[in-house]
Amino acid sequence: MAGTPEIGVAAGGELTAAARVLADAFIDDPVWAAIGPHWRPHRRLSNRVSFAGIFAGSRRGGARIRVAREEGRILGATIAFEPGRWPLSDGSMLWELGWVLAAGPLPVYRGFRDDRAMRAQHVTHPHMYLWFLGVDPERQGQGIGQALLADLHARSATLGAPTFLETGTRENVGFYEHLGYEVLGEISLPSGPTSWRMERPSVHPA
């Protein structure tokens, strides 16, 4: 049985490993798969370029980046933004240039359309925004995601802010509901999949 991972701030040298973990975690995510590239090996490469840029841009934008480690190995990560820090500035979004080159024009077009659709329905009250949560596919289902979320929820409680997220995976809705989230609504994304908007109060009964 796997032990409890250590949750902590991502050191600069860990961002590359964390980006690879999230890229692999999202390889078959319905939204990312619909955006493309549709050829899986190409999508894996594109995801890795994209998440490397996402981590770099998020760090510049003041994101709260936390990782789960076990004996020095990165098993999962979260990218979240405390109240008032989202959305990222245009300067922080320069990471998208690498993704444009790696993915090609059609995935980029689909991705930007989906992003606009989600931003149009983003909550407007102060909140903690969980942009990404991912766990190494080989270690999913072992409580690593819950450990990362517990760390995030503790910070949200300290700030007195609810936690907001979107998920494009139907199975994740029940997972998040079990942890106190409620569905605020659904978004029919231009690329095809549905995205569920979910929120958890800052202090949830145990």
Going by C-alpha positions, the residue among 95, 130, 115, 94 that lies closest to residue 31 is 115
* pLDDT score, position 1: 44
pLDDT score for 13? 84
> Is there a domain that residue 102 lies in?
yes
**Would you state the pLDDT for residue 11?**
85
Retrieve residue 69's tokens: 């480690």
Name the CA dihedral angle for 156, 157, 162, 168, rounded to a multiple of 10 degrees. 50
**pLDDT for 203:** 75
Any domain includes 53: yes
Q: How many distinct structural domains can be found in the chain?
A: 1
Within a domain: 190: yes
91 in a structural domain: yes
Domain assignment of residue 88, given as a range: 6-200
Asked if residue 1 belongs to a domain, the reply is no
Question: Is 206 domain-assigned?
Answer: no
Q: CA 126, 129, 131 angle in degrees (round to 5)?
A: 160
Q: Where are the extended beta strands (E) located within the chain?
A: 6-9, 64-70, 73-81, 128-135, 163-167, 182-188, 194-200
pLDDT of residue 26: 97
Instruction: Give the type of residue at 140.
Output: Q
Give the Cα separation of 9 and 38 in Å (integer).
33
pTM for the complete prediction?
0.93
Closest among 20, 75, 68, 81 to 45, alpha carbons compared: 20
Concatenated DSSP letters of 2-47 = --PPEEEEPPGGGHHHHHHHHHHHTTT-HHHHHHS-SSHHHHHHHH
pLDDT of residue 95: 58
Q: Are 145 and 133 in contact (CB under 8 A)?
A: yes
**pLDDT at residue number 2:** 59
Query: Residue 169: what pLDDT?
Result: 96
184, part of any domain: yes
Cα–Cα dist 63/55, whole Å: 9
Domain of 124: which CATH number? Answer: 3.40.630.30
pLDDT value of position 191:
96
In which residue ranges of the chain is pLDDT below 70? 1-2, 90-97, 204-206
pLDDT digits (tens, 9 = 90+) for 74-133: 999 999 999 999 988 765 555 566 777 778 889 889 999 999 999 999 999 999 999 999
